[in-house]
Structure 1
């Protein structure tokens, strides 16, 4: 049966009704579905809550490596075959300075990430001071991703001024055992519950491209709706040679379908383009802004990513607006024809 795209839009925008699983499966499984019409329908759902606004988020890897966990996708895992620089948590001054720089770029939220299973109480002491300084001195919204956290720790961070705590589900409950053995899916759920009980906003999403099934993707999308998670980053596996999980068969079309699915099931949540967007969405990144309303800039934890300026240009070229940033003056048209950083427009063999 042909897909009724208007029906997808109508059902998804009815916040009192849950998006039917039958339609969710159709979004991912129907080979005849028209991706452009699907993106248009998801865009209408996104527009109802967020209009044309796009939020910029930036990650600061404040502690790298030194991790006892064995997540198969991660270059910082204890068994990862990577020659990564390891360092203990950065000092307050560095983290605050980088927060100032992020705000100057037009970043909406500053996301600090620390490797490890979870923070000690001593680490929480340090982080509460850092968060308070950023709140008082910079005035940018903050998010922490620091592993497994209990309610007491989350409460202390909330009292220091933290806005949001991130802890990704990453994949479905049944697929978690294929990804990691040093913690459980329930451990992740417990951390999100602790954050909510402490009054923190939560952020949790998925990494796609790790061998998950359609059912796994659908389960995560519905679980995040059930938990009323307001911020959902969708990451696309960056294949790092040497990691236990380093192969993926994602296509730009598959990525768009997944983003649309998360938008239909979570119509009022912030859907963010995360790690791997550049390599997996490629020339279709601007289309991804129809289901998504947020994007990471300036790279990720250990992998490179697009800088702020070209990302802002992409957003504006697609007719969207960066939240909190005045429209940038377009550069001269000739600058958009640079290839390999060569400003010459004419072919070399066509000039004297």
Structure 2
């Protein structure tokens, strides 16, 4: 067995020099690195993202078109109608979505994502999303993404035709651990939707949540299974235990484990946009977030998330300015 002290040298030769992702066994070695080697890991991950993704950081805002009342039982999610969660069903109108897109664009964001808490979109929701995309594109210079749950092949093509350029459908966790997280649908169903998205010509956005009780072996499995999907973007969430959900009593992932995950995911996917998403405020805090942005992350969601509060947009933008991280301009994204 190769000494674990060699793993970052091997990662340098593979991920940095060739742009090739690490294997599951190699990712596991990275996740098992001792705390004192985290700065070295972060430095290498940063070099990898600069070489294969460039220096720009992509900023995105998200908003929920339909919040709460979801029929699925994702154990981390307070939007499930099956749990005694404080989140209640709410729908936004088109004018509210357009205004939210305008506010997002003012931050310099290149992307605005419309999200709905559903198993999959019905005809009414598809029509509403179509109206929303048209209204936003007529008034705001921003790309529109969507996350509406499981799609049919026809729905994926329709969203592409409506002007949605990127579709998010998270695998959430690795295939082997998924039944511990969701029981109302399968990992394979999620994977199938991603294939429909790719076939339709939309960019594939798929990530998930680390810190839901999975082992390090399963975390490594998850990183490699995401790499196999070949996503344009991977949102990295860290579990924020929500009241009323089955995972409400889980511990928040320690900052060291969170940073190791960031570095490992970057080395598993050298060429992918890796985006900080929900839970970073708890797991990483201000200092850890900065370390992540200088350790492999090259995109960030600003403002609030779907049912949890994020940091004020201005605070994140000030942080990126202080770190001298350029925000990706829209004209370089189209």
Given the two structures, how large is their TM-score scaled by the length of structure 1? 0.88
Q: Is the 8 A contact 2:25 2:220 kept in 1?
A: no
CA gap of 1:253–1:32, structure 2 versus 1, over 3 A, is: closer
Alpha-carbon distance, 1:78 to partner: 2.0
Contact preservation (8 Å) 2:31, 2:216:
yes
Q: Is the contact made by 1:221 and 1:262 (CA closer than 8 Å) also made in structure 2?
A: yes
Partner of 1:174: 176
- Contact 1:203 1:232 (C-alpha < 8 Å) held by counterparts: yes
The 8 Å contact of residues 9 and 42 in structure 1, kept in 2 or not, is answered as no
1: distance between equivalents of 2:23 and 2:149?
A: 33
| Aligned pairs for 1:130-279 within 5 A | 130-246=132-248, 247-279=250-282
**What residue in structure 2 maps to residue 12 of structure 1?**
15
- Tell me the C-alpha RMSD between the 2 structures: 1.7
- Match of 1:245, SS? coil
Contact kept, 8 Å, 2:169 with 2:206, in 1: the verdict is yes
| Unmatched tracts of structure 2, length 5 or more | none
When residues 87 and 42 of structure 1 are mapped into structure 2, their CA distance, relative to the original with a 3 A threshold, is same
Aligned residues: 324
- 1:206–1:231 CA distance, 2 compared to 1 (3 A): same
Distance 1:189 1:218 in 2: 18
TM-superposed CA distance for 1:269, in Å, is: 0.3
* Inter-partner Cα distance in structure 2 for 1:301 and 1:95: 14
Task: Check if 1:299 corresponds to 2:301.
Answer: no
How much has 1:294 moved relative to structure 2? 0.6
The DSSP-based 3-state class of the residue aligned with 1:53 is coil
TM-score (normalizing by structure 2): 0.92
| 2:86 and 2:244 in contact (8 A); partners too | no
Corresponding position of 1:286:
290
Q: Which position in structure 1 is the counterpart of 2:105?
A: 103
Q: Which residue of 1 aligns with 2:73?
A: 70
8 Å CA contact 2:19–2:270 kept in 1: the answer is no
Q: Which has the higher contact order (CA 8 A, sep 6+)?
A: 2
Query: Match for residue 317 of structure 1?
Result: 322
The CA deviation at 1:16 is 6.5
Does the 8 Å contact 2:19/2:271 carry over to 1? no
Give the Cα–Cα distance (whole angstroms) in 2 for the partners of residues 56 and 7 of structure 1: 31
Match of 1:345 in 2: none
Alpha-carbon displacement from aligned partner over 1:293-328 (angstroms, at most 9, x marks no partner)? 011111111000111111011122223222239xxx
Tell whether the 8 Å contact from 1:62 to 1:113 is kept in structure 2 after alignment: yes
Gaps of 5+ in 1: 326-352
Any conservation in 1 of the 2:167–2:203 contact (CA below 8 Å)?
Answer: yes
C-alpha change, 1:5 and 1:108, in structure 2 (3 Å) is same
State the Cα distance separating 1:153 from its structure 2 match: 0.7
Further displaced range: 34-43 or 248-257 = 248-257
SS of residue in 2 equivalent to 1:165 = strand
Q: Structure 1: how far apart are the matches of 2:82 and 2:280?
A: 26
Map of 1:24 onto structure 2 = 27
